[in-house]
Structure 1
Amino acid sequence: MDLSTLFSLEGKVALITGASKGIGFSIAEIFAAAGAKVVICSRKQGALEEMASKLKTKGYEVTGIACNVGNLEDLPSLVQQTIDKYGQLDILVNNAATSPVFGPVHETSSEAFDKIMNVNLKAPFELSKLCWPHLRKSSNASVINISSIGGISPEHGLGIYSVSKAALISMTKVLAKEWGEAKIRVNVICPGLIETKFSEPLWNNEKIMSMVMKKLAIKRVGSAHEIGAMALFLACPASAYTTGAVFTADGGLTI
């Protein structure tokens, strides 16, 4: 058996949101290294061009397309530009997320609630629907949603964020069940504490880190590339019989 083909993305096209840094960028780099043509998306074209250039110097095929996924009217253009550039779409990674508040739910404004739900849940919902007609043409279509361990058990101070991530897990299962006949697999990754700019208020807080370390089986913060490696498994033929699954990568925090 040639194991290299099981983890190859040669000839595939991937669209990754929230991909100019952190987990999204690591997924993009690993996908590109596995042979995929990758479209990275975030709000600022300048940041995308900078990160795409870094990957291109390694010989990877990467294109940056600016899009604020919170502006739902911009999503059709993102998908169309991807198709115009590469002619197909095989993998969608819904990674973009926001968490503008930290504190108890009763102090969370309706405006913050709407923003969190719009970016973390509605954008993946709408973008997945837009990608559906293209994904169904693929020989190995995969949608990967990036949730959080907060979606499994609510995180302190991140109540509505946790609600949005729990809903994303549920939506993953719904899509997996409905899209199976079209041979589109849909899975979700729930990272724990990963050292990214997004989570810096947590891993840079000594009090929070002290509490987290007591609960971890693996006594360290995770890396973005460790999430990228799991995403590669879910994108490639190695996971051909896996759909509707919820994967944690949290150092054992949720054991």
Structure 2
Amino acid sequence: MTSPFDLSGKTAIVTGSTRGIGRAIAEALIAQDARVVISSESADDTARAAGELGMPGLACDVSDDSAQAALVGFAVKELGGLDILVCNAGITGKAGPFAEIDMDDYARVMAINLRSQVVLCNLALPRIAERGGGAAVLVASLSGLRGNGRINAYALAKAGVAQLARNLAVEWGPQGVRVNAISPGFIATELSQPLLDDAAFMARRMAMTPLRRPGTPAEVAGVAAFLASPAGAFVTGHNLVVDGGTLITDGS
């Protein structure tokens, strides 16, 4: 009996897939026998990760529309088509209240975290539809679901990503393309290491998390694999929160 998570014969693009959550998602898809194009802004990082994973890779600055078009074209040429898109690439930007926001930083955060996903989906979803349908997974964030005094443009962009998934699910569902978002909470990655090392922050944050621990990239990746696989075949337009319960807790 074939596993409902089996991705044999399926092809994918995962942006920002040389480290952290994106790398874990690529590994999870590969573990289910998908072929995956590895990509990040850095050509060196992309070549290294692609070599380690035994997959094709292409560097792509997601703020560059032509580079994203080249990425989709590369995937179709190298893999013979496209079934799965994971939009993971993103940046955090400068922390602080909106009253003190740097609008140049705001523009860059919105361009990379939200606009790039609109552009890449517009390029990739028609290719997925051509193959008879498939799935897109857009990486949003818990910060897009809660108020925060210091996470400004990032949270706003990630809230937009969740809405983008809903809109695209409506638009592309009739062609067999499912679109969902994932909203990770606090995940232990290289980028979050300064917070992991901050004892006061960790005590406060873990008290607000029922599971009392950070998540791991692999735990987010498992959700992405589910949403991309036949196991998630009747799930679309959903924003799946992966946060150890932080969103729902009263702090008890």
Do the structures match in fold with TM over 0.5? yes
Instruction: Go from structure 1 to structure 2 and tell me whether the alpha carbon gap of 1:26 and 1:149 turns closer, same or farther (over 3 Å shift).
Output: same
Partner SS state of residue 96, structure 2: coil
Q: Could you tell me which of 206, 212, 220 is aligned with 1:227?
A: 220
1: CA distance between counterparts of 2:80 and 2:147? 40
Q: For residue 7 of structure 2, what is the amino acid of its counterpart? A: L
Q: For residue 92 of structure 2, what is the amino acid of its counterpart? A: S
| Structure 1: unaligned runs, 5 residues or longer | 57-61
2: CA distance between counterparts of 1:233 and 1:125? 22
The offset of 1:207, in angstroms, is: 2.2
Q: For residue 14 of structure 2, what is the amino acid of its counterpart? A: I
Corresponding position of 1:250 = 243
Partner SS state of residue 3, structure 2: helix
The offset of 1:254, in angstroms, is: 0.4
Q: How many residues align?
A: 248
Q: Could you tell me which of 19, 22, 25 is aligned with 1:24?
A: 22
Q: For residue 11 of structure 2, what is the amino acid of its counterpart? A: V
Q: Could you tell me which of 74, 86, 103 is aligned with 2:96?
A: 103
The offset of 1:53, in angstroms, is: 2.2
Conserved? CA contact 1:191–1:227, under 8 Å: yes
Question: Is 2:3 aligned against 1:40?
Answer: no
Conserved? CA contact 2:133–2:175, under 8 Å: no
Partner SS state of residue 66, structure 1: coil
Corresponding position of 1:52 = 50
Partner SS state of residue 189, structure 1: strand
Task: Give the TM-score taking structure 1 as reference length.
Answer: 0.94
1: CA distance between counterparts of 2:125 and 2:52? 30
Partner SS state of residue 150, structure 1: helix
Corresponding position of 1:59 = none
Aligned sequence identity (%):
33
Q: For residue 40 of structure 1, what is the amino acid of its counterpart? A: I
Question: Is 2:7 aligned against 1:9?
Answer: yes
| Structure 2: unaligned runs, 5 residues or longer | none
1: CA distance between counterparts of 2:29 and 2:148? 30
1: CA distance between counterparts of 2:194 and 2:147? 17
Task: Give the TM-score taking structure 2 as reference length.
Answer: 0.95
- Write out per-residue CA displacement over residues 18-46 of structure 1, whole angstroms, 9 at most, x where no aligned residue: 11100000000110110000001101121
Conserved? CA contact 1:216–1:253, under 8 Å: yes
Q: Could you tell me which of 161, 165, 170 is aligned with 2:158?
A: 165
Q: For residue 38 of structure 1, what is the amino acid of its counterpart? A: V
The offset of 1:140, in angstroms, is: 4.4
2: CA distance between counterparts of 1:213 and 1:172? 29
- Write out per-residue CA displacement over residues 230-255 of structure 1, whole angstroms, 9 at most, x where no aligned residue: 00100000111100011111011001
RMSD in angstroms over aligned alpha carbons?
1.2
Instruction: Go from structure 1 to structure 2 and tell me whether the alpha carbon gap of 1:138 and 1:199 turns closer, same or farther (over 3 Å shift).
Output: farther
Question: Is 2:125 aligned against 1:127?
Answer: no
